Amino acid sequence: MKKSGTNITKLPSSFYNYTSYIGTIILVLGAIAFAFLFLISFIFVEGGAYQGLLMWLVVPGFMVMGLLLIPIGMVFKRRRDKKQPTTAQKKWPILNLNEPQTRNAFTIFSIGTLFFLLLTTVGGYKAFHYTESVEFCGLLCHEVMKPEYVAYHHSSHAKVACVECHVGNGAGWYARSKLSGLYQVYAVTVGNFPRPIPTPIKNLRPAQETCEECHWPTKFYSRQLVMNKHYLADEKNTEWTIGLQMKTGSAYSALGLEEGIHWHVNPNNKVEYISTDSSRSVIPWIKYTNLETGETKVFEDKSIPLNENEKTTFGIRKMDCIDCHNRPSHDYKTPVRFINNALAAGRISPELPNIKSLAMGILSTNFSTEDSAFSFIESEIKEYYANSYKELYDKKPELIVQAIRSIQEEFSKNIFPEMGVRWSVYPNNIGHLEFDGCFRCHNNKHSTSKGETVSMDCNLCHTIVAQGISDSLQGGSIFKALEFVHPNDEYASWKEGLCSDCHRNLY
């Protein structure tokens, strides 16, 4: 009975080696760590990006390593034993369940394998979903992805997971994304990555396979009214309101995409173009095809002629959603835009004299860190009002403090000095105010052999229904457009160039 009791826990002699011991220790410690992390996540529900990384990727990886070390150690132990002259030469281990040590090893191995397979299946499923999560994409590499993560959470797609746009459905694109991610992990580990991170224009999946999973091309709505408040850079921060009827579709929804901005993605139309730069900002060649009639038109910018070899080299791209909506989730707003928004929302008080021009001057500075920017914003605003508007500074300090906090908050959402990210490095092709956007094609420079041009008429995309200072607002109607009046431009010099010629240099 005593001998039988001793054999209950006995294992094959090949197990008794340091490599297998180490593997067993790693496996047991990994199982304990996994159980602890699982318990923590169960109690507290959420544990953050790094807990998920440890729980579903790092700890299981160590457990697999420990599990592999056990048989590796046993194999090497058997090989060493074979070299001993007193050891019986056996080519393969004998599986005899009548022997207690073999039966014990088989039982432990079978139960352990079933448990580990179950754990691996659940862990693999969880690991897959974890690597597809927003937290994994945005928080794991905190410094590198901070600009994208912050901008994403303040976008209209904040409830759409990163992978829905950057990867999409299907195993093929998932595998491609993970393979490219291996180099990205290496680059972040060794600090070999660009600042700012370039937009992966060439590697994006076609919009038909991502955007159109939610945005049905044939179900665009008719025209929409958009009201914007701007503030002039004068002492009173004068309000300037502009109301636009945006021609996103036809005048009547029943007409679909026969006209308006989204005419470009009408299923019956095919628009192709050639771009000569990596950001697709310079477009000298455009081709339109009516898929119903077969009619084609080629528009070329004579100031940027392309020969046949260049056309082949640069390649022809079919226009899709992302050619205009190129910053759908990572839009870094210009200071003019986010200061106007803060003033309109009341986060910055228009009562503060010259706050618009003061903020614009401060934000034109290039900072090395966010902390230095925050300190500079606070000191400059306090010093300005203490010296120039002492009475206001003494009587309404809360307005000044509120303005400082709001400007700092807007800065933190749109400018990231550590990564070199600011509005100017990522052109936004929606509109035409700060960047060429629509005017890449609609600039009156592209023409056919018959003299037809791609018009830059403002009323193609929108009409002005209201504009001016609030006290003397000029009103129109949805059926009759107002002629644009540029504030502080009595000679209408804005007509002589593109909006972006001036506005991109205001910051």
Task: Kindly state whether residues 437 and 417 are assigned to the same domain.
Answer: no
Within a domain: residue 156? Answer: yes
Instruction: Quickly state the pLDDT bin for 48 (edges 50, 70, 90).
Output: low
Residue 29 backbone dihedrals phi, psi, to 5 degrees: -60, -40
Residue 213 lies in a domain: no
105 and 72 together in one domain: yes
> Per-residue pLDDT tens for 108-135?
777 777 777 776 677 666 767 777 778 8
Same-domain pairing of 166 and 100: no
Asked whether the predicted pLDDT for residue 356 surpasses 60, the reply is: yes
Same structural domain, 127 and 19: yes
Q: Which segment, 72-81, 111-120, 393-402, is predicted with the most confidence on average? A: 393-402
Q: Helices 355-363 and 370-388 meet at what angle, rounded to 10?
A: 150
- pTM value is 0.77
Q: To the nearest 10°, the Cα dihedral for 156, 160, 164, 166? A: 50
131, 147, 166 — which closes off a domain?
A: 131
Residue 241 belongs to some domain of the structure: yes
Q: What does the pLDDT read at residue 344?
A: 95
Task: Tell whether 218 is covered by a domain.
Answer: no
> d(Cα 284, Cα 304) in Å, to the nearest integer?
6
Tally of domains within the chain: 4
In this structure, is residue 219 part of a structural domain? no
**Is 438 a member of any domain?**
yes
Per-position b or e across 74-89, b if 16+ CB within 10 A of its CB = beebbeebeeeeeeee
**307 and 435 within one domain:** yes
**What integer best gives the mean pLDDT of the chain?**
85
- 462 is in which domain, residue-wise? 224-328+428-503
- pLDDT, one tens digit per residue, over 453-472 is 999 988 899 999 999 998 88
The predicted pLDDT at position 494 comes to 83
In a domain, 484, yes or no: yes
pLDDT for the residue numbered 85: 62
Residue 92 has pLDDT above 80, yes or no: no
Q: What is the pLDDT of residues 378-388, one digit of tens each?
A: 999 999 999 99
Last residue of a domain, which of 103, 131, 159? 131
Same domain, 293 and 395: no
pLDDT at 490: 75
State which of 393, 425, 457 marks the end of a domain: 425
Beta pairing class for 462-468 and 474-475: antiparallel
Stretch (H or E) spanning 243:
strand 239-246
Q: What are phi and psi of 417, to 5 degrees?
A: -60, -40
Same domain, 76 and 159: no
| Whether residue 280 sits in one domain with residue 139 | no
Are residues 453 and 324 located together in one domain of the fold? yes
244, amino acid identity: L
Shared domain for 324 and 447, answered yes or no, is: yes
- 341 lies in the same domain as 466: no
Statement to judge: residues 174 and 305 lie in one domain:
no
Bond from prior residue into 100 cis (ω within 30 degrees of 0): no
Residue 215 lies in a domain: no
